[in-house]
Amino acid sequence: MTRLTTLPNGLRVVSRAMPGVETVALGLFVAVGSRHEEARVNGIAHLFEHMVFKGAGGRSARAISEAIEDVGGDLNACTERDQTSFTASLMAEHLSLGVEVIGDLALRAHLDPTDLEREKEVVLQELGEARDTPGDIVFDELWSAAFADQPLGRSILGDEDSIAAIRPEDLGGWRDTHYRGGNLILAAAGKLDHEELVDLAERCFGSALPGSGSACVPASFTRGARVGRTPSDQAHLTLAYAAPAATADDYLAARLFADIVGGGMSSRLFQEVREERGLAYSVYTHLTPYAETGLLTAYSATSRANSAKAAQLMETVIARAAEDATPRELERVRTQARAGLLMSLETPWGQASYAARQLAVHGRMVEPAEVLDRLGRVTLDEVRAAGARMLGGGPARATIGVPPARAA
């Protein structure tokens, strides 16, 4: 059963009790990410997420880690383009500790200037590691091509100049502007009592200012092309098509289309590009939705010599699916989607993240039964139509390791 309470400052507390488990998964989900940044301080969302672990509340960096690990728990954080999350998994009796530590991280981090300079070096090392991984950095290039000169198209990590430009007062301003009650969702699942969770939230997050901070700039698909210069023994090929927003009527149809095209070993891309032609080891698609738009992306890693063949075949396979996707394919990916949802909900973390996602996207708790019902009603014509709409504007492209004559 899902329980939801909204605090006076706007923070939403959602919980799902799970009989028979002894643990609890807890997450603070903040509706702010790299797409909310100004260009001058690109990377500040991610750097702030790093900095909170250097000291918060009454704890040093070491004390933060020890507080959770001493009780057998796990603490983590993640920055995305549209969200930042702070998560913990603990034995149920330590729920209060988890809420307290996450509250300190989000609202009471020390943000010491000396720590900032040191942590900038850590982030620069992370940036260098990402640039040494062509299969990762090609997606930064792809987002830049799909959303050229827009916040959504910028890297989550930032670059050397923007990281260097971030000052201690920028971090404090970032927290004051965006870490407000209306942007916060505290979600927990497992062995817990909702009223206790609400009491803890009031104590640890009640000081958050009301409101939701500044809105992000709406994104517009630009259908650009980028050629990455990172050295690579393989060619990394990506495509992106404008896709429905997370709340669009055809979102589920678009998701099922993406799965037919490249959602697993039985998908068209895997079968035709890898199994039948032997052109790639890794090939897949993914649908990434945002509040106002989305991206259908396709990726393949192939040899430099085969890059032109693989790129052409990828586009051909994707286009053909919008015309002749079959009933059998639809039922297969529908079954996979149902199973994936139900399997994910068997863990406390799956339950907590599901609840937070539904609140963040829809503003209400959409129960799994409703999602499954909607999945069951998607027709083949709707899947084909969603595919055709996504492909209609043509793709953005990004490549790394492709011979110059073929890169465009």
How many structural domains are present in the chain? 2
Q: What is the pLDDT of residue 230?
A: 80
The string of pLDDT tens digits covering residues 68-103 is 999 999 999 999 999 999 999 999 999 999 999 999
Inside any domain, residue 216 = no
Nearest of 275, 264, 257, 274 to residue 326 by alpha carbon:
257
Inside any domain, residue 144 = yes
Q: What percent of the chain has pLDDT over 70?
A: 99
What mean pLDDT comes out for the span 269-292? 96
- Alpha-helical segments (H) within 250-346: 251-262, 268-269, 307-324, 327-344
Residue 335 shares a structural domain with residue 186? no
Cα–Cα distance for residue pair 183/83, rounded to 1 Å = 10
The CA distances from residue 206 to 66, 123, 371, in Å, are: 25, 31, 33
Residue 265 shares a structural domain with residue 190? no
Q: What is the pLDDT of residue 404?
A: 65
Residue 134 shares a structural domain with residue 278? no
Checking if the pLDDT of 261 tops 60, the result is yes
DSSP state at residue 109: B
Residue 145 shares a structural domain with residue 49? yes
Q: What is the pLDDT of residue 53?
A: 98
Q: Is 242 exposed, middle or buried (0-12, 13-18, 19+ CB in 10 A)?
A: buried
Cα–Cα distance for residue pair 70/6, rounded to 1 Å = 32
Strand 234-243 versus strand 84-91 pairing type: unpaired
Residue 99 shares a structural domain with residue 139? yes
The residue with tokens 């059998």 is 328
Residue 163 shares a structural domain with residue 234? no
Q: What is the pLDDT of residue 408?
A: 46
Residue 233 shares a structural domain with residue 84? no
What mean pLDDT comes out for the span 38-58? 98
Please identify, among 177, 205, 233, the residue that sits at the C-terminal boundary of a domain: 205
Residue 263 shares a structural domain with residue 367? yes
Q: What is the pLDDT of residue 213?
A: 76
Strand 59-60 versus strand 23-30 pairing type: unpaired
The string of pLDDT tens digits covering residues 127-143 is 999 988 998 899 999 99
Residue 266 shares a structural domain with residue 344? yes
Q: What is the pLDDT of residue 252?
A: 98
Please identify, among 174, 205, 236, the residue that sits at the C-terminal boundary of a domain: 205
Q: What is the pLDDT of residue 29?
A: 98
Cα–Cα distance for residue pair 45/51, rounded to 1 Å = 10
Q: What is the pLDDT of residue 228?
A: 85
Nearest of 294, 290, 284, 239 to residue 263 by alpha carbon:
284
Give the predicted TM-score (pTM) of the model.
Answer: 0.95
Inside any domain, residue 62 = yes
Residue 362 has a CB neighbour count (10 Å cut-off) of 12
The string of pLDDT tens digits covering residues 156-191 is 999 999 999 999 999 999 999 999 999 999 999 999
Cα–Cα distance for residue pair 42/131, rounded to 1 Å = 17
Question: Beta-strand (E) ranges in 211-254?
Answer: 225-228, 234-243
Helix axes 95-107, 194-205, angle to 10 degrees: 30
Inside any domain, residue 348 = yes
Inside any domain, residue 92 = yes
What mean pLDDT comes out for the span 310-322? 97
Residue 299 has a CB neighbour count (10 Å cut-off) of 23
Residue 273 has a CB neighbour count (10 Å cut-off) of 27
By residue range, what is the domain housing residue 304? 225-407
Q: For residue 162, give the CATH number of its domain.
A: 3.30.830.10
Residue 143 shares a structural domain with residue 242? no
Q: Are 114 and 148 in contact (CB under 8 A)?
A: no
Residue 315 shares a structural domain with residue 351? yes
Please identify, among 175, 205, 235, the residue that sits at the C-terminal boundary of a domain: 205
Q: Is 372 exposed, middle or buried (0-12, 13-18, 19+ CB in 10 A)?
A: middle
Residue 70 shares a structural domain with residue 112? yes
The CA distances from residue 370 to 206, 291, 304, in Å, are: 33, 20, 46
Q: What sign for the dihedral angle of Cα 131, 132, 135, 138?
A: positive
Alpha carbon dihedral 278, 297, 357, 147, in 10-degree steps, equals 160
Q: What is the pLDDT of residue 403?
A: 80
Inside any domain, residue 321 = yes
Inside any domain, residue 219 = no
Cα–Cα distance for residue pair 232/382, rounded to 1 Å = 40
